[in-house]
Chains A and B, each alone.
Chain A
Amino acid sequence: MIETHPTLAQQEFIAREMLHRRNVKILRTALLILLLALWELCARLGIINDFIFSSPSRIVICFVSMVKDGSIFLHTGITVMETLVSFALVVIVGVLTAILLWSSRSVSEVLEPYLVMLNSLPKSALAPILIVWLGNNIKTIIVAAISVAVFGCIMTLHTGFTQTDPDKIKLIYSLGGKKKDVLLKVLLPGSVPLLISNMKVNIGLCLVGVIIGEFLAANKGLGYLIIYGSQVFKMDLVVMSIVILCVVSAILYQGIAMLEKRIGK
């Protein structure tokens, strides 16, 4: 009996831990159901006006009808595509620019104040100009999304690059390497965790940029549905689009998290 004693304690610990986790899961789901039920109930009882506030059942009806005519896939697909394209461009442009800044002290010091300024500029202010310059089309949306994320991406990566352990760089030179070897053997492989955590932020920022762009210059996409819905007072459409947007952003974030897990192995 004495020998099994610690095992028993361990079993109890695991049981407690499992119970805790299950409780968290149950409460999470219960909270969602409670809020939805309350919303539905208030709408049915006329406490809130469901024409303005919509209701879960109206959202579902709206969703089902749009699934039937296929339009929801078009709009969601467009938004996701625009987000992924701008995200890919942000990562490529961000990494390349950060490398350029790292490789030349003069370039980075000259450009630094401009980057800081552009990074803190509210990018939505640029959107009207972009429409005039690029037209009422997908180019404007993608450029708007890139402008939201790219400056922060460049600055974060550049800071990470410059904080590389100088002794690791010395090691490369002591093995007869050149600056190119420092970049390929130390800087880039060493910055993978930084790049991934940066990507997690950027995918969200790109989605923000895409929605801003779609508000102003689109006839497709979830951002367009939201603006169109509010203009024609179809609040079901607006709220449904927001719900889909929540799901899309969660999925995109999880995608990066999965990438991180795979690389971490």
Chain B
Amino acid sequence: MKPKLEVCGVSYSYHSLEGETLALCDISFTVDSGEFIAVVGPSGCGKSTLLSLLRGLIEPDEGEIFVDGAPRVKSSSDIGYMLQRDHLFEWRTILGNAQLGLEIQGKLNSTSTEKLRNMLNTYGLGSFQNARPSELSGGMRQRAALVRTLALEPDLLLLDEPFSALDYQTRLSVCDDISSIIKSTHKTAILITHDLSEAISVADRVIVLTSRPGRVKSITPISFGDIYKRPLERRNSPDFSYYFNKVWKELQIHD
């Protein structure tokens, strides 16, 4: 079976009049369909750049990216991107915000709206469809942002620290919610985070990047067995601290 995503020798530099900054250098990895990957690394190692490259918002200087074995298309709706903050528009209702992607893709019709309403109901936002974003709690806003992303039915989800703007308690429960939603719908996901416990609690594999320029330092498979499925359960697993220490050491060792 073809991997869902294949990243081959990707490099990217930022240019300014003061000079050139190599952000990512020779990044290669593959992601299988249905896998949940977490990418961790020190701040400024180009994690967000990696997601922008994967989504096609910027083009790599070197290397190639394949989705389902074919070079990825720039503005396809197969890849969903969730940003750090929810960026719900205050001038739209929650339903209106969730429809944004469908509107842009020209896929807004009564069937897709009905689907969207069902999705909002499923994720506990049914009674807030006509509310303004400011009336919702941080966790609910992030769920609304997820619905906006999922509305386009992407196979591959890119999550750029989507929980980092939330307070710790909300963060744990929203992370639990959202990763369960993603797993139950069998999406492939790549989560960027600087929170090691978060990475270990959700991911099938953890990719550690070095500090700038970001290179792949290690890829650690995580396996807790079937009893510890949800992130909050995983955190209680006896193996949790083992993985934590292992990845922690990877992050600490300098080249």
Contact = CB atoms under 8 A, between A and B. Distances in A.
B89 A174 contact: no
B208 to A, nearest CB: 25
Interface string A152-184: 000000000000010110111111111001000
Interface string B76-91: 1100110111010101
Interface in B86-117: 87, 89, 91-92, 100-101, 103-105
A170 B83 contact: yes
B57 A176 contact: no
Contacts of B104: 172, 175-177, 181, 185
A189 B84 contact: no
Contacts of B84: 167
B105 A176 contact: yes
Nearest 8 A/B pairs, CB to CB: A174-B81, A175-B101, A177-B104, A176-B75, A189-B91, A181-B104, A171-B87, A175-B104
A176 B83 contact: no
Contacts of A175: 77, 81, 100-101, 104-105, 148, 152
A175 B145 CA distance: 12
Contacts, number: 50
Interface string A184-201: 011001101000000000
A190 B91 contact: yes
Contacts of A177: 75, 104
Given A168-B87, A170-B52, A175-B77, 9 more contacts: A165-B87, A167-B87, A171-B87, A174-B83, A175-B101, A176-B75, A176-B104, A181-B104, A189-B91
A177 B77 CA distance: 10
Interface of A: 165, 167-168, 170-178, 181, 185-186, 189-190, 192
Contacts of B92: 189
Contacts of B55: 174
A174 B84 CA distance: 13
Contacts of B52: 170
Contacts of B57: 170, 173-174
Nearest to A178: B75
A70 to B, nearest CB: 45
B126 to A, nearest CB: 23
Interface string B121-154: 0000000000000000000000000001000100
A172 B97 CA distance: 12
B89 A186 contact: yes
25 contacts: A165-B87, A167-B83, A167-B84, A167-B85, A168-B89, A170-B83, A171-B81, A171-B83, A172-B104, A173-B57, A174-B80, A174-B81, A175-B77, A175-B104, A175-B148, A175-B152, A176-B75, A176-B76, A176-B101, A176-B104, A177-B75, A185-B103, A185-B104, A190-B89, A190-B91
Contacts of B148: 175
Nearest to B104: A177
B251 to A, nearest CB: 26
Contacts of B85: 167
Contacts of A178: 75
Contacts of B100: 175, 185
A137 to B, nearest CB: 42
B44 to A, nearest CB: 17
Contacts of B103: 185
